[in-house]
Structure 1
């Protein structure tokens, strides 16, 4: 099963096709043309023999309704021997088949979790044909510039999330995480819970409390759209700021569980809504992003999921 660290970068790239060519030009220095329109393309290629190639993302740049340039974008989180062997056999084929299908230049980019993985993934691939050496273009979040202003986060929210994992251990960490929450306001609502989950997995354990506090503040200040949330906001204000914040956090815990498709029975709902401890509710909110069942938020020993693949 694909992990969240594989799927969320892909969703961000699909969400806005202009992100990949921007990275190719400004970060990797590749000669990708500045075309008026970029759109997602087919992510499978049919072979002459039975079978298909399954690509992560294909983005097509067009002018006058004609493909002018294509970017294949892979997310590669591991670089073991078997993975590198698979890459050596499949990635050159991706490029040649997409080039044949679209009739335009094609490049392949790979998003990796760290510099070490990116360097191994980007190693030249000898195809056996004289002078035909394929070199993937790999990068990691630390190569992307940190998004540290509201203007950047509002204009390029996808880049704010893609870059954030590479800037969580330095002096700009607090600003980067704050801009991640700002960026999420401009991304599709149905995916926000998953984006929170993704960033939570990337934040080092020693900074997890800082992230939880920022999330709690964002939830408190968020402009909720539903009547249910408006009612809870009004009740919270009537009971006072502290109690209102606890109620908002409790509602957020239940909302996250619900949006992730986890069954919430009356016992879980009653225990969450009865809690007035802000620290406890914040811990439950963080767990609600990663547990496999609603009851697990009450288990302090619940293991984190393995997102290495």
Structure 2
């Protein structure tokens, strides 16, 4: 099953196809300035039985006829088996989409970091003279940091795609703030997933900063949809979990990975409140779970 770190970048492109040519130009590809971009087919039927399954194709048109196409893949790993699959499938993606649409085609791959992007970009020798396929890749740090409200409002998709690549920058606080700003400009039904995506990308050392920004956003923003209840619950759960852990640590109690994972992964507000009360008095971090019989925290 595709992970959220695979699906969210694709959803952002489906949401607004003109983001793809903007990214392509940012990373050095020559893409014509066309007035209309739209999602294209994500499967290509072969002459023999079978289909090629692409992540997403964005088609640029000047009239009704396709003028340029960008195949956009999300590639989060670069193991030997993945590189072998890429070497066989990606050249076929380009040639078959070009045949189907009758226009120029480029393939661009989004990777989580620079080392992965460099490996995935390894040239593919097809065996035909002078036919070497060179995947074009990028990672969040190649995109410019979005640090102003004007930028986040105009290009919310880029604010979310670029944020993970700028969390070590001096402007990290602005980058995270603008990621939250961007979420308010995107479709409400996906906001919880966007929040989850950014949360998974934030290193543990900056998690408290992110949680505090989320709490402030929830407190200061007037939510207009049913998303409010779920988003507020996420923020309250994260805040309570962080408080439980901070109390245990401030009391000098050792918190191992198993305890930290169970507390941080809990979304039951009643359960977290009970742990918070116990954290003030227990003699060891593990004892915070004493008395949990019958309470559902989603932990094994």
TM-score per shorter chain, which class?
0.7 to 0.9
Instruction: Name stretches of at least 5 consecutive residues in structure 1 with no aligned partner.
Output: 233-247, 255-267, 278-293, 303-309
Aligned residue for 1:71? 70
Aligned residue for 2:297? 296
Instruction: Name stretches of at least 5 consecutive residues in structure 2 with no aligned partner.
Output: 238-267, 278-294
Distance (Å, rounded) in 1 between the aligned partners of 2:93 and 2:66: 17
- 1:156 Cα deviation (Å)? 0.1
Q: Is the 8 A contact 2:215 2:235 kept in 1?
A: no
Distance (Å, rounded) in 2 between the aligned partners of 1:111 and 1:249: 31
Q: Is the 8 A contact 1:250 1:272 kept in 2?
A: no
Distance (Å, rounded) in 2 between the aligned partners of 1:190 and 1:251: 15
- 1:207 Cα deviation (Å)? 0.3
Aligned residue for 1:264? none
Indicate yes or no: 2:3 matched with 1:6.
no
Aligned residue for 2:139? 140
Aligned residue for 1:240? none
- 1:296 Cα deviation (Å)? 3.1
Secondary structure of 1:296's match? Answer: coil
- 1:270 Cα deviation (Å)? 5.5
The TM-score normalised by the length of structure 1 is 0.76
TM-superposition CA deviations, 1:154-207 (whole Å, max 9, x none): 000000000000000121110000000000010000000000100000000000
Q: Is the 8 A contact 1:250 1:273 kept in 2?
A: no
Q: Which has the higher contact order (CA 8 A, sep 6+)?
A: 1
Alignment of 1:6-85 (within 5 A): 6-25=6-25, 27-85=26-84
Distance (Å, rounded) in 1 between the aligned partners of 2:68 and 2:226: 46
- Cα distance change on mapping 1:92 and 1:250 into 2, 3 Å: closer
Q: Is the 8 A contact 1:125 1:135 kept in 2?
A: yes
The TM-score normalised by the length of structure 2 is 0.79
Q: Is the 8 A contact 1:60 1:71 kept in 2?
A: yes
- Cα distance change on mapping 1:214 and 1:66 into 2, 3 Å: same
Q: Is the 8 A contact 2:236 2:269 kept in 1?
A: no
Q: Is the 8 A contact 1:146 1:163 kept in 2?
A: yes
Q: CA RMSD in A?
A: 2.7
TM-superposition CA deviations, 1:34-91 (whole Å, max 9, x none): 1000000000001111110000010000011110000000000000000000000000
Distance (Å, rounded) in 1 between the aligned partners of 2:83 and 2:9: 20
Aligned residue for 1:307? none
